[in-house]
Structures are given as structure tokens and as C-alpha cells.
């Protein structure tokens, strides 16, 4: 289930920034060759960055890519590692909860004041902020689910499994993942030739 959610979020994230790169390319070419500036590309870029960053929080959480200082982590006994992993899950869930709480305040103010963007489009901010808020809620829910899973594993006495699932990535693991990705990318053209 989590792999499907991660794939969906990564696809949305990629589509947002692919569309933004096309828009920026069109604007640069229109400005260079026709002297025309497209209105709103800067505004849309800001919205894409806001929504994309909330999705990136969740994707980093799934991939265990949030920064953790792990110099001593692997040298500690399993029980202490499990406690540290649980503490990191708890702090991440608290941070996500704080962001979710503050996001509600932003959305409430936007609705109360009927805020619009200070651009020529005068976009009602509730629309882009709703997408941003949805990303914050997803991050918060995923953080809480991971915390519950970590607690469930720890209460069930499955400390090793908890440490395996939630420990920070080592440099060796990151290197192995990158080498696997590089191998997969190099094999893709061969697969495409076979299909064609």
C-alpha cells in the first residue's frame, strides 16, 4: 500500500515540475524570439514549489531521506537504536502535526479575508493553498501512520524489525541504491530497443 502511495505522490510531484519546466521553456523562448512575456509563470512557479515541497516531505519520509545524525547509531545496542528510531518517528510526527495545525490557520485566514494573489491574475489564494494544504495533510497522516507502526512493532517485541524498517540509511545503503538505479537506467535503452 505504501509503495502505491509513494508512486502516486512521486508521479504528481514529477508532473508538477515537468509542466513547470515546459512553461518556463515556452516563456524563455517567447521572450527571446518574440519579445513576449507570459504573465503568471512566476506565480505558477511559486505555487508549484509550495505544493511540490509538501509532497517532497512525504517522499523523503517514505525513502528515509530526512537527515539524521547517525555516527553512533549503528554501534549502539538494539534497544537503544529502537528507542532512537522511535524518538525520530515521534519528533517527525510532532513536526508534521505542527505544520498541519499552522496550515489550518493559514487556510482559515485565507477564507476569512478572501485573499487573492498580488498579481495581475488576482488568483483567489484558496485554490493553490488547498493543494498545498492537502500535501501538508498527507505528510501529517503518513508521519502518524509510521509512528503507529513503529510503536506497534516495539510493543510487539519486534525490535529488530523496527530497527530494520526505521533506521537511518547508511552510506553503504545509499551507494547500493544509487548503483542499482544506475544499472536500471543503463538497461532501459536496451529494453526499449527490444520493444521497438
Residue matched to cell numbers 516531505: 57
| Residue 176 reports pLDDT greater than 90 | no
| Residue 67 reports pLDDT greater than 90 | no
Q: Where are the domains of the chain?
A: 2-170
Q: What is the pTM of this model?
A: 0.84
CA distance 106 to 100: 10
User: Widest CA span of the chain, in angstroms?
Assistant: 67
Nearest to 135 by CA among 80, 191, 58: 58
Q: pLDDT by residue (tens digit) across 88-120?
A: 999 999 999 999 999 999 999 999 999 999 888
Residue 144 corresponds to which cell in the numbers above?
A: 502518524
What count of other Cβ atoms lies within 10 Å of the Cβ of residue 184? 10
Mean pLDDT of 1-25: 91
Amino acid at each position: 500500500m505504501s509503495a502505491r502511495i509513494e508512486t502516486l505522490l512521486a508521479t504528481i510531484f514529477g508532473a508538477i515540475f515537468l509542466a513547470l519546466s515546459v512553461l518556463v521553456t515556452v516563456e524563455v523562448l517567447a521572450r527571446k524570439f518574440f519579445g513576449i512575456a507570459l504573465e503568471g509563470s512566476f506565480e505558477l512557479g511559486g505555487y508549484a514549489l509550495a505544493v511540490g515541497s509538501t509532497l517532497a516531505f512525504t517522499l523523503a519520509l517514505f525513502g528515509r531521506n530526512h537527515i539524521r545524525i547517525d555516527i553512533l547509531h549503528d554501534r549502539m545496542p538494539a534497544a537503544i537504536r529502537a528507542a532512537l528510531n522511535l524518538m525520530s518517528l515521534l519528533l517527525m510526527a510532532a513536526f508534521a502535526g505542527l505544520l498541519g495545525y499552522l496550515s489550518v490557520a493559514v487556510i482559515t485566514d485565507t477564507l476569512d479575508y478572501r485573499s487573492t494573489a498580488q498579481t495581475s491574475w488576482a488568483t483567489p489564494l484558496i485554490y493553490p493553498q488547498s493543494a498545498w494544504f492537502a500535501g501538508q495533510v498527507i505528510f501529517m497522516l503518513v508521519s502518524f501512520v509510521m509512528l503507529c507502526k513503529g510503536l506497534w512493532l516495539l510493543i510487539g517485541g519486534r525490535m529488530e524489525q523496527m530497527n530494520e524498517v526505521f533506521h537511518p540509511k547508511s552510506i553503504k545503503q545509499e551507494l547500493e541504491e544509487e548503483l542499482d538505479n544506475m544499472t536500471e537506467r543503463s538497461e532501459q535503452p536496451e529494453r526499449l530497443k527490444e520493444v521497438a
